Amino acid sequence: MTEASTMIAVKDLRKSIRNGPRTVDILKGISFTVPHGQFVAIMGSSGSGKSTLLGLLAGLDTPSSGEVRLNGTAISYLPEDKLAKVRGKTVGFVFQSYQLVPTLTALENVLLPYELNAEDASGHEGLQRARELLASVGLSDRLDHYPVQLSGGEQQRVALARAFILRPPIVLADEPTGNLDTTNGAHVLELLLHLNRTLGTTLVLVTHDPVLAGYADRRIVLRDGAVISDAVQEPVSFTVAE
């Protein structure tokens, strides 16, 4: 693996928070690198530090110490607005609870990162791509629906489309199927893997579901804020159960 092909580099990452008089160490010095195009599953029980790690990878929070590099850029200590721009262009997000903007329609939600980050925000390209993406996740008839008018599975598919609109090199997903039933979960996962493979995106997925983790190229397991195992694996091939 060459340095140039490294998409994510994490070096001695630590995070502690103050809770009254106590200091709680959530992450205790984590280091790993993820090459371009790899699908990494991060596993661990509740409270192991998975979500905190994901948040730090995305620059959603500042580490207590250590460093995160995305596509060669050290992001951890960038000023707020600069960080927002790097994040917008480099990272796509899929959250367990969808996190759509409730006052925007499905189409507008997908278009939002484009409007915020694309160089040519006024062009029709974004709109067309948003429509295509929504069509590819099977929602071409739901373009003008608001989040409350969509089912959970549909909302997560909108979130997927949104994550991919800027063709980000990295997609981070936090329990993307956690709130969905089996069928909807499988559909969302299929779409995620499809987009990951066709677009060559680096995918980091946080889950506590071993089945879901089985589809990944590599599995990192956390316990009490430390990596207890990090192994490359042969991914299970994915089929949607009808």
Partner 1 sequence: MASLSLRSAVKIASRELRFSRGKFFFVVLSVAIGVAALTGVRGFSSSFRAALLDRARSIMAADLSARMFQQPTPEEQKGLDAIAAESVEMTPVTEMLSMASSARTLDPLLVSLKAVDPTLYPFYGEVQLQPAGSLRDVLKNDTVVVADDLLVRLHLNLGDSLKIGNRIFRIAAVVVNEPDRLSGNFAAGPRVFISREGLDASGLLAPGSHAGQRYLFKVPKPKDGTPISEKAVANLKERLEKLLPESQVIDYRETNPALTQGLDRATSLLSLMSLVALVLGAVGVAMAMRAHLEQRLDTIAIMKSLGAGSTEIIRIYLLQTLLLGLIGGILGVVCGALVQMAFPYFLGRLLGVPTAVHLQLRTVLTGLGAGILTTLLFTLPPLLDIRSVRPILILRRAVDESADPFLTALRKKLKDNLSQIAAIVLILTGLAAIATTLSDSATVGKVFSVGLVTVLAVLLAACALLLAGLRRFLAKTRLRLPSAVRHGLANLYRPGNPSAALLAAVGLGVMQILSVFLIQKAVVHELHLSSAPNLPNVFLIDITSKEIAGVEKLLKLQPSVTAAPELLPIVSSRIVAIDGVPATRATLKNFPRRMLRSISLTSFTAPPEGTTITEGAWWSAQEAKPEVAIAQRQAERLGVHVGSKVTFAAQDSEIVATVVALIKSDGQHTFSRAEFILPPKVLNGLPVVWYGGVHSDPSRVGELQRALYRSFPTVTVINVAQALETVRSVVIQITYVIQFLAAFSVFAGIVILASAVAGTRYRRVREVVVLKTLGATRVRIATVFSIEFAVLGLVAGIVGVTFANIVARVLLGRMSIPFHLPWIWDALALIATALATVATGWAASFRVLGQKPLEVLREE
Residue 58 binds partner 1, judged by CB under 8 A: yes
Residue 118 is a binding residue for partner 1 (CB under 8 A):
yes
Stretch that binds partner 1, among 107-115, 132-140, 193-201, 228-236 (CB under 8 A): 107-115
Total residues contacting partner 1 (rule CB under 8 A)?
42
8 sits near partner 1 (criterion: CB under 8 A) = no
Strands (E), 63-201: 65-70, 73-74, 91-94, 170-174
- Computed from CA positions of residues 145, 147, 148, 151, in that sequence, does the dihedral angle turn out positive or negative? positive
Backbone angles phi, psi at 98, to 5 degrees: 60, -50
Q: Is 88 in the site for partner 1 (CB under 8 A)?
A: yes
Residue type, 85: K
Beta strands in 130-217 (DSSP E): 170-174, 202-206
Show the binding pattern over residues 123-152: x = contacts partner 1 (CB under 8 A), - = does not: -------------------------x----
d(CA 219, CA 73): 24
The one among 13, 43, 100, 160 contacting partner 1 by CB under 8 A? 100
- Measured from the CB atom, the residue of 25 and 217 that comes closer to partner 1 is 25
For the residues of 12-59, what is the DSSP string, one character each?
EEEEEEEETTEEEEEEEEEEEEEETT-EEEEEE-TTSSHHHHHHHHTT
List interacting residues with partner 1 (CB under 8 A): 17-21, 51-52, 54-55, 58, 60-61, 80-81, 84-85, 87-89, 93, 95, 97, 99-104, 108, 112-113, 115-122, 148, 162, 174
